[in-house]
Structure 1
Amino acid sequence: MADKSFLSWPFFEDHHREFALALDAWVQQHIAPLPHSHDVDADCAKILALLAEGGWLTSCVPAEFGGRSESLDVRSLCLIRETLGRVSGLADFVFAMQGLGSGAITIAGSEDLKRRYLPDVASGKKVAAFALTEPASGSDVANIATSAVDMGDHYLVNGEKTFISNGGIADFYCLFVRTGEAPGARGLSALVVDADTPGFEVAERIEVIAPHPLGRITFTNMRVPKENLIGKAGDGFKISMGTLDIFRSTVGAASLGFARRAMDEAIARAKGRELFGAPMADMPLVQAHIADMAVDIDASALLIYRAAWTKDVQKTRVTREAAMAKLYATEAAQKVIDQAVQIWGGLGVTSGITVETLYREIRALRIYEGASDVQKLVIARQTLAD
């Protein structure tokens, strides 16, 4: 079991500590033994079914709609992603997308939308997706071009999205579009779109270095009923940023899980291999690597659970805190994993070795839900404004 001493920190309540220990035991029994096939869609379906059966998806929705807590508990979301990330990057992805993909509905959806979608998210009956990125608007959300024209009782949607996680396997998408109430960010809205809607097409499946379902989707004269509008017209940017306020901290938590696993692997290697007649762990340079890993991991955890605690307890926007947590934890995890690969030497770059898998998995987390460079801009602007 990885280090659990952080659970004694004052960010957590007793129910979080019990939750984390029960989750760790369940993950070791049900997720750790899973073999990975070459069919990533099938692997995701299997993991989703296990998470649903274990009751862990209930953390993705409020209690009124089948959830574990009255509202989304960010500390629980982070604990789940850290624990899953330590064992399986794909399992972390499957869980994360159920929360992120339905988060806009939880935050701003009508009671009707919540009743129609959230219980099925919690039970695993519906796969969710968050459709924000376009070819010309990744970090620049205000540049979204996909249009939704108000036709009275429905919107007529045309455009495309790319690099959409769960693209191709999701049952519904929280789709961000331009409705044109005002220029730039103020003219965006959010819609729920079912995957079987006429005019919706999965145009391409995209392969990446750490395989997971990813796709480019297009919309051609797609009719979306007005009742599928999330919140009010023109609120799309605010809804997307509110969703990311919650889930950016959890990206940091997944990175933390990756980093903890990498340090465990590095320590096992250093203790188990002899160099120049002594254990590798006795070498000062190796000890320096381990020390750097330990500091980066604890610093990441402090930033992540500060942001999560602030959101849960103070009920305020945590744009700055969440950006700090994501930026530091993802960048630190990249360094920790790189150091683990170095300690493993030639084996560390061998396909299928745990540290090699982690090396591929961590890279995308420094990009999605706001690249590290963008997080620096967010932090700077918030700090200057304060």
Structure 2
Amino acid sequence: MDSTELRDALEDAGLSQYQAEAYTTLLQLGTASATEVADSCAVPTARIYDVLRDLETKGYIETYEQESLQARACDPSVVLDDLRGRASMLEEAADEIEERWDEPEVDQHKLSIVKRFETVIQRAASLIRDAENEVQFAATPEQYETLKPALREALSNGVIVKATLYADSAETLDGAEFDGTATEVRHRTLPTPFVVLIDRTGTCFAPHSHSLNEYGVLVDDYTLTYVFHWYFQTCLWEVWEEVYSVRPADPPLVYSDLRRCIREIEPFLADGAEITARVSGFETETGDAVEVEGRIVGVNYAGAGETEGSPPLSQLAGRVCFTVETSDGGERYTVGGWGAVLEDVEATRITVLERSA
């Protein structure tokens, strides 16, 4: 390191330009008068006394009177300890900045904005592995490949996995690739943002590759995730072609979405079929976990009974519920879906056990 680099380093450590000049000069001269120091460096004579006193206050030099003011560098141990302490602090700061950049503390915030897509996909994989009920996601085939290990683990734990993949042609999506990692897959022909929704509370979002800005949104909130859920349903799921499914056609049929359940059972109910279901969820009044099993004796949504066949999604945008009558005591429970307030139960999983012809 030459003298210029040494002075720059001292300035980075907190010395002024003149202080760094005077100190490096004294290191070379050993002991010198104030005027000799000024003559040997770029510090003006009028400033040299103040500069030397400041250096003495910082512990870099000591001064004494001998006909004129004399100065000499102190034992450098104090200076070295200070510089090495600063270096250690800067290194720790660099590590902390890197950690905060890569792994924002999502659990302390309802919403975090991050700059790197890697952070978003790492968070998504972690949440998918911890999922208990449902994963909905939209991605490219390459992003799907990255998430495969986490999706396989979730599906093996009984989680419902719904995926929408963007590709130019559905022929490029090989159904065998989805075995063991998805319940249903749909094909979207428009560029797809990266969206992952987990168990009604977690969201990971990043714009598609054509976006001008690279950023990600990480959400840990029930209400905000519900907004993303409707975006997923209407823009990324409902209108796109199904290319893979392992859902059976006959009971038992498992649903995580009450609206989808009603769309599929409504034609059978209209024809007089008897349907028995088991509902797992929470009591809306207390928040306690509950399980109800019995016969579905009625459905309620805008225009119920007025549409032949399955009601369109637009008819199910408002209040939607059905009523279950238990077989043991004949009690009746109203069952709502995500965000239920007026019903007795918010369903997180519905299993249609039997369906008569």
Normalising by structure 1, we get a TM-score of 0.21
Radius of gyration: which is bigger? 2
Q: Which has the higher helix share?
A: 1
Structure number with higher relative contact order (C-alpha < 8 Å, ≥ 6 residues apart): 1
Structure with higher strand content:
2
TM-score normalised per structure 2? 0.22
